Amino acid sequence: MASSSDVTSSSGDTPERPESGSVRRGRVRARRAAVMAVPATLVAAGLAVLTSEGALGVQFAISGMPFTVTATELDGTGFAQFGGLDEMAPGSPNEGDTGGQVLIVTSAIKNATLTKLCQSVDLGGTNLLITAGGGAEKVTARDLTTDSTELSGDAAFSNIEIGNDASTLTKAGVKGPIGVFSQQADTVRIAHLRQTNYATTAGVFKLPGLKLRFSGSGC
């Protein structure tokens, strides 16, 4: 550990104190930097809160290749549906004349059960085929969302609300953009489900009896 004589200059001179003006300018710069940092911090914190509340979904660039999903039956609790726009990666060869954007309908289900799930994507001459839930145990999902351009089946809802503002949805844990038409229900049941999707996300997705293979035909 250094003694006091070690840190004293050999000439005996004491270090010069900076002029008061430079100290003042330094403090002003520090204050300005701190003030400028506050909005960025608040925005980051706000986005984290919105994501945790489901107001903002986790976004990713879609491939632009649609895939088909079918199930003999879907049962769900906590249902919501609203319009949206999916984006492809910049320069995607699949964008065609769309500009890389696809108008979709997002369907969100808090807890879902699917019987005899089938998913296929046309790779040009052959299909990548995935099947699950064909036995006694069904496919289950939590916080399931699908971005679809087509959806068909025989549907039944309980306590449905139609015409909500998508930013006010409460039943599926997901909210859409403000000013967008939406609907929600306590439960949903769709027999003979068929969807054309561009994206699917889930917090948990369990697929008993999963089989993945190439096939000459899709779902």
DSSP string, 62-80: B-S--EEEEEEEEEEEEEE
Looking at residues 133-143, what average pLDDT do you find?
Answer: 96
Q: What tokens were used for 186?
A: 């306590």
Residue 11 has a pLDDT of: 43
Looking at residues 94-107, what average pLDDT do you find?
Answer: 94
Looking at residues 113-122, what average pLDDT do you find?
Answer: 98
Residue 3 has a pLDDT of: 41
pTM score of the predicted model: 0.74
DSSP 135: S
- Half-sphere exposure (CA, 13 Å, Cβ side) for 129? 15
Nearest to 218 by CA among 128, 150, 114: 128
Looking at residues 175-197, what average pLDDT do you find?
Answer: 97
Is 4 a residue whose pLDDT tops 70?
Answer: no
Decide if 66 contacts 119 (C-beta within 8 A): no
Residue 94 has a pLDDT of: 95
pLDDT more than 70, % of the chain: 73
Is 17 a residue whose pLDDT tops 90?
Answer: no
Is 149 a residue whose pLDDT tops 60?
Answer: yes
Residue 60 has a pLDDT of: 87
Residue 30 has a pLDDT of: 40
- What does the mean pLDDT of the chain come to? 82
Q: Which residue has the tokens 């319009």?
A: 83
Decide if 128 contacts 203 (C-beta within 8 A): no
Is 13 a residue whose pLDDT tops 60?
Answer: no
Cα torsion through 109, 86, 42, 110, rounded to 10 = 0
SS3 state at 141 = strand
| Cα–Cα separations (whole angstroms), residue 136 to 76, 89, 111, 115, 209 | 18, 40, 19, 9, 10
Instruction: Read off the pLDDT band of 6 (50, 70, 90).
Output: very low
